[in-house]
Amino acid sequence: MVTTSFLNPLMESMEENLQQHVGFVQRSVPGMTVLDDNGLLQVDSGLSSDTFNKITRARLRGTDADRRIAEAVAYFKRVRRPFACWVGPGSRPLDIEKRLLEHGLENTEAAIGMAMELFNFPAKPDGARQLTVRRAASPQQITDFANVFASNWEPPDPAVLTLL
């Protein structure tokens, strides 16, 4: 875990959870690449989709931030794959969004994270009796999950169906 002591523990945990999620599959699939050097996390699925190709968890020093951003952007241009660059409260340097724009990236969307201290979680959440969680156990169930997941994008992202 990359410590970002300037964040509160809940925010730090939330960012770490997201970073682990971003490269989880790519770390274990041959042909996919995860470059993780404590200053930047770069994930390349090999698919032509910014859903699964990311530059994130920037913890860069101002002195080498522009060089590192340029290298990461150049990598995806060289392999000709779309990618997304995710910036969060722990991203450094503080002016990273401005620097990304200067490197030709565009701010196209924003997402809001949610977190809750577990000691505040109700013992029996409302609606829990109507919820059933189960692991997909057949090719058809995996396909059904992938179709629902792919529909998060407009139009649906076909790379989701390829990956899952």
Are residues 71 and 117 part of one domain? yes
Mean pLDDT of the chain: 87
Radius of gyration of the chain (CA): 18
pLDDT tens figures, 44-58: 999 999 999 999 999
Is residue 58 within 8 A of residue 42, CB to CB? The reply is no
Structure pTM? 0.80
Are residues 49 and 12 part of one domain? yes
Task: Indicate the pairing of strand 33-36 with strand 41-44.
Answer: antiparallel
Tell me the mean pLDDT in the region 123-145: 82
- Domain range for 111: 1-121
Looking at the 3D structure of the chain, how many domains does it have? 2
Are residues 110 and 81 part of one domain? yes
Please give the distance of CA 59 from its chain centroid, rounded to a whole number: 15
User: CA 27 to CA 135: how far, in whole Å?
Assistant: 21
Query: Reduced to 3 states, what is the DSSP secondary structure of residue 43?
Result: strand
Are residues 73 and 151 part of one domain? no
pLDDT tens figures, 136-149: 999 999 889 888 88
